[in-house]
Chains A and B, each alone.
Chain A
Amino acid sequence: MAVAAVVITVWVVWLDVTVRSHFEGRRWQVPARIFASAPLLYEGAPASVQGLVRHLKELGYRAGDLSRPGSFLQTGNQLKIHLRPFQFEDGAVPARHVSIEVANGAISHLESRGPVVRLEPLEVGRFYPGSKEDRILISRKELPDVMVKALILTEDRDFYSHHGISLKGIARAAWQNLKAGRVVQGGSTLTQQLVKNFYLSAERSLWRKANEAVMAILLDAHYDKDAILEAYANEVYLGQSGQVAIHGFARASLFWFGRPLRQLSAAEQALLVGMIRGPAYYHPLRHPDRARKRRNHILALLEEAGVLRPDQADWARRQPLGVTDTPRLSANRYPHYVEWVRRQLLEFYPEDVLRSEGLRIFTALQPELQERVQRALDQFARTRPGLQGAFVLTERETGAVAALAGQAGTGIAGFNRALDARRPIGSLIKPFILATALQHPERYTLATVVRDDPFELRFENGDTWSPENFDRESKGPMLLEDALVQSRNQAMVRVGLDVGVDQVLNTLKAAGHDADIPPWPAVLLGAVPMAPVQVARVYTALAAGGVAPRLNSIRAVTDAKGHPLKAFDYAPEQVLPSQVAYLVQTAMLDVMQRGTGRSVYQSFPRDYFVAGKTGTTNDGRDSWFAGYNGRYLGVVWLGHDDNQPTGLTGASGALKVWRQVYRQLPAESVVMAQPEGVEWAWVDNRTGLRLEEGCENARALPFLEGTAPEEVGPCKRGRSLIGGWIRRWFGGGEP
């Protein structure tokens, strides 16, 4: 007898320890919250009323009445907002009123306390920085009222009065089951269900039942009802996607409806509660009729209990199920972006910081751009089976990553190609060959004549190598600038070999590429495997004029008390002389104006200056484009995961996706302020000899000071009245 008492005591104590440690562990973990970039409102900021309203609605702002914070009023192109208080990375900002007018795609008038208003950023994800688990947790406060009532009515009417188990509930269930002649109701309380989900296996045995009951009683004794309810709401099983189980109302809401919990209607909340009984049986896509019947049953309970008025319940019953056709697995709306945030956190923040709770992570993500980028990729890949892609969009001067997409097509977020697909970059290497050559001004200027002719490299072991051009032709002598603009392999490889493959790799390394690559000649044709995000990094060096920041997804992180942790401060470094970067950028503008990227001007006005470079690898296995306007740098990669040919070139693939995104961005031109130490001169298009302005065969090119050609060539005149006029018009008499 005494032995039995000891055994039972030990058993109960052991269960108690298990219950408490596990529950505490789960319960007190406050997830890190991830915020998108806070939009800045100021006069001149690109904006649309629809875009702003969408943003406010996503934040849960209500339309119509401005009396409370969190509301807005739209009349035509005017928007008045009563902003909620918000804890930004640099402190709390109180509620305040703002009034905006939008005209021609920009804010034309702003009434506020200061010249710039920060809008509350969207929350785009939550995670436990310390774990791999991808969950979204919500607090008791965030559970919608109707949902809580539906849950208690359906699953455990005595929740607030029982002590973990409910004899009344068991009796009621037994009676109902007897009446129906089958099991229609379970007698488990919410607490028991939670215990079952939390600690126990799915085996059905008396032993397990006993454990469950004791643990439920212990849990109830230790914690208040709201804490248990909160844990339940975060733990409840609500569906399956392949290997991954969908737990918790918040995640299920995103999974099934594509919207956060707080945006769900009563009918949608009722459906989720109804599905607890059997997420597979009541699968709203596979068995919509069952699901609807179940939902309407829950709505009836709500009506009966007076939670919903009859008219509200009627209306709710008439609603469609509202689930999305393509349930989204990830707890985060932008899983690939968030993945990078997580990696950068691990890289730049000490682990103990990441383990602290309640972090707030302020990122550079711009959801609107992220969605455009994803849409453009999806659209392009839709008609091409198996085609994959990635897109990285950064602010070219600040290095802030505005969008990052690692796959084409909706569906389960898998392989993040933007970060992890290392593919040869093809002709994207050429601006770096040019940048290397131009650092030897005694040998190379943009006007140096180079030879686009076949040649053969003979290696010591007798092997030979002779690069060809894409069109299998050779164009003979041409200006170095044109070799880049027209992406001539033979010419650029000759230049690269002359300055040294290792030197070209050094330029790439200075620009931020960190891999060790042997200096094979094939490097000069882009046999350098890089992930899109790495390409974005090295192109930032060019696009930011040689003084470049590192790429970052995180603007700031604050702890639970709102104190900033180490910030990601802008700290540019000179990686290329500004003058050389200026020359290379000039050539990259010409790539777009008249070279391999010129097809963008089918949809862009001629005076919208963008710069870039196309890249294609053998048989179109990789289609690349890296290009920028005044504000954003975008890198696109398209290809097959199994490296099969795509039949695409950089221009017919990646560039089209890039253009699709950029035509929706404000047309902000690249403006290249000419740095000191650069001079312009007119030179002959073919010979590179010095000409005076107004010659038909002349072109203006920038040179490092003192390196413009001195020898004067013959000037062709005549037939050039108009050309000369245009040149004078644009040139203002300046060489």
Chain B
Amino acid sequence: MWTLAACTAGPSPRVDVRPPEPATSRSAGEAGTPASSPRIAMQVQRVTPLPAARALLAQSDAALARGETARAWRLAQRAQRISPQASEVYVQMAQIRLHEGKVAQARQLLTKARALAGQDASLLQRIRDLAARTG
């Protein structure tokens, strides 16, 4: 029943690749319960920028308002090094790219921002507003 018609390349090399070590001797079901729970706490979390990153983002925004996009971008990148999991960083980067007319890049950055925004309604709204401008 497992005959593979599509596999016209002939016999596969017999590479017997194994998982690293015998899995837990307990069955999957018994092993699972307690470990799942802390994850649920994680789902509501999201990372917010550290104060230093926030300050850099504010500086970046100010630079953008002056039309200094290169400087704005560098400051946002520096903020990203500090708080790489913070959605705000990517929102700012998207804003800069939008300002430069690089719509495709802005769209990707907003996807990133959205993936990190968690359930933060106002942030999500801001991302939606910006996304609307990418057409």
A contact set with B: CB distance below 8 Å: 40, 42-45, 90, 114-116, 395-398, 400, 424, 426-427, 455-461, 463, 465, 467-471, 475, 478-479, 482, 485-489, 497, 500-502, 518-522, 525-527, 544-547, 569-574, 578, 581-582, 586, 589-590, 593-596, 598, 606-607, 609, 614-618, 623, 630-631, 649-652, 655, 671-676, 680, 684-686, 696-702, 723, 726-727, 729-732, 734-735
* CA distance in complex: A320, B76 (Å): 50
Chain B residues with CB below 8 A from A574, complex form: 108, 111
The distance from the CB of B34 to the nearest CB of chain A, in whole angstroms, is: 6
* CA distance in complex: A616, B21 (Å): 9
* CA distance in complex: A467, B2 (Å): 12
Evaluate contact between B19 and A673: CB separation under 8 angstroms.
no
Chain B residues with CB below 8 A from A116, complex form: 52, 55-56, 78, 82
Pull 17 A–B residue pairs with CB atoms less than 8 Å apart, ordered by A.
A40-B81, A40-B82, A116-B55, A395-B81, A400-B81, A461-B10, A520-B12, A521-B4, A525-B15, A614-B21, A618-B15, A673-B115, A726-B34, A726-B37, A730-B40, A731-B40, A734-B43
Closest B residue to A482 by beta carbon equals: B28
Closest B residue to A624 by beta carbon equals: B20
* CA distance in complex: A521, B78 (Å): 44
Chain A residues with CB below 8 A from B114, complex form: 578, 675-676
Evaluate contact between A458 and B28: CB separation under 8 angstroms.
no
* CA distance in complex: A463, B124 (Å): 55
Evaluate contact between B14 and A426: CB separation under 8 angstroms.
no
Evaluate contact between A40 and B27: CB separation under 8 angstroms.
no
Evaluate contact between B17 and A527: CB separation under 8 angstroms.
yes
Chain A residues with CB below 8 A from B1, complex form: 455
Evaluate contact between B78 and A734: CB separation under 8 angstroms.
no
Closest A residue to B16 by beta carbon equals: A618
* CA distance in complex: A533, B2 (Å): 35
- A-B interface, 9 closest residue pairs, ranked by CB to CB distance from nearest: A487-B19, A42-B52, A685-B29, A486-B23, A397-B84, A649-B20, A650-B20, A673-B118, A482-B28
Evaluate contact between A463 and B115: CB separation under 8 angstroms.
no
Q: Does B50 lie at the interface of the complex (its beta carbon under 8 Å from any beta carbon of A)?
A: yes
Evaluate contact between B19 and A427: CB separation under 8 angstroms.
yes
Chain A residues with CB below 8 A from B80, complex form: 397-398, 570
Evaluate contact between B35 and A594: CB separation under 8 angstroms.
yes
Evaluate contact between B108 and A457: CB separation under 8 angstroms.
no
Q: Does B87 lie at the interface of the complex (its beta carbon under 8 Å from any beta carbon of A)?
A: yes
Mask of B1-15 contacts with A, CB within 8 angstroms, 1/0:
111111111111111
Q: Does B85 lie at the interface of the complex (its beta carbon under 8 Å from any beta carbon of A)?
A: yes
Chain A residues with CB below 8 A from B38, complex form: 606-607, 609, 730
Given contacts A459-B11, A527-B13, A618-B16, contact A595 B23 (CB under 8 A): yes
B contact set with A: CB distance below 8 Å: 1-24, 27-47, 50-52, 55-56, 71, 73-74, 77-78, 80-82, 84-85, 87, 93, 105, 108-109, 111-112, 114-119, 124
Closest B residue to A698 by beta carbon equals: B33
Evaluate contact between A730 and B115: CB separation under 8 angstroms.
no
Chain B residues with CB below 8 A from A497, complex form: 2, 4
New contact pairs (5) apart from A578-B111, A731-B37, CB-CB < 8 Å: A455-B2, A519-B9, A581-B115, A616-B20, A675-B115
* CA distance in complex: A589, B35 (Å): 10
Evaluate contact between A460 and B37: CB separation under 8 angstroms.
no
* CA distance in complex: A618, B17 (Å): 5
The distance from the CB of B64 to the nearest CB of chain A, in whole angstroms, is: 15
Evaluate contact between B43 and A702: CB separation under 8 angstroms.
yes
Evaluate contact between B108 and A671: CB separation under 8 angstroms.
no
* CA distance in complex: A723, B73 (Å): 48
* CA distance in complex: A730, B118 (Å): 18
The secondary-structure label for the interface of chain B is helix
Evaluate contact between A40 and B78: CB separation under 8 angstroms.
yes
Closest A residue to B17 by beta carbon equals: A525
Given contacts A395-B84, A594-B32, contact A458 B3 (CB under 8 A): yes
- Residue of A475, A527, A570, A582 near B77 (CB, 8 A) is A570
Chain B residues with CB below 8 A from A479, complex form: 28
Evaluate contact between A475 and B28: CB separation under 8 angstroms.
yes
Given contacts A44-B51, A479-B28, A594-B24, contact A676 B2 (CB under 8 A): no
Closest B residue to A478 by beta carbon equals: B28
* CA distance in complex: A598, B6 (Å): 38
Evaluate contact between B39 and A671: CB separation under 8 angstroms.
no
Evaluate contact between A115 and B51: CB separation under 8 angstroms.
yes
* CA distance in complex: A467, B47 (Å): 42
Evaluate contact between A489 and B18: CB separation under 8 angstroms.
yes
- Residue of A424, A461, A482 near B15 (CB, 8 A) is A424
The distance from the CB of A675 to the nearest CB of chain B, in whole angstroms, is: 5
Chain A residues with CB below 8 A from B50, complex form: 42-44
- Residue of B6, B24, B40 near A519 (CB, 8 A) is B6
* CA distance in complex: A519, B8 (Å): 10
The distance from the CB of B115 to the nearest CB of chain A, in whole angstroms, is: 4
Chain A residues with CB below 8 A from B21, complex form: 470, 596, 614, 616, 649-652
The distance from the CB of A234 to the nearest CB of chain B, in whole angstroms, is: 35
Interface centre among A43, A116, A468, A488 (most CB of B within 10 A): A116
Closest A residue to B73 by beta carbon equals: A569
Evaluate contact between B13 and A520: CB separation under 8 angstroms.
yes
The distance from the CB of A248 to the nearest CB of chain B, in whole angstroms, is: 35
Closest A residue to B18 by beta carbon equals: A470
Evaluate contact between B12 and A465: CB separation under 8 angstroms.
yes
Evaluate contact between B85 and A630: CB separation under 8 angstroms.
yes
Given contacts A45-B82, A482-B28, contact A518 B20 (CB under 8 A): no
- Residue of A400, A467, A735 near B16 (CB, 8 A) is A467
* CA distance in complex: A516, B15 (Å): 18
Closest B residue to A574 by beta carbon equals: B111
Chain A residues with CB below 8 A from B15, complex form: 424, 522, 525-527, 617-618
Chain A residues with CB below 8 A from B87, complex form: 673
Evaluate contact between B117 and A673: CB separation under 8 angstroms.
yes
Chain A residues with CB below 8 A from B124, complex form: 676
The distance from the CB of A325 to the nearest CB of chain B, in whole angstroms, is: 36
Closest A residue to B1 by beta carbon equals: A455
* CA distance in complex: A411, B105 (Å): 44
Evaluate contact between A545 and B116: CB separation under 8 angstroms.
yes
* CA distance in complex: A522, B73 (Å): 45
Evaluate contact between B52 and A45: CB separation under 8 angstroms.
yes
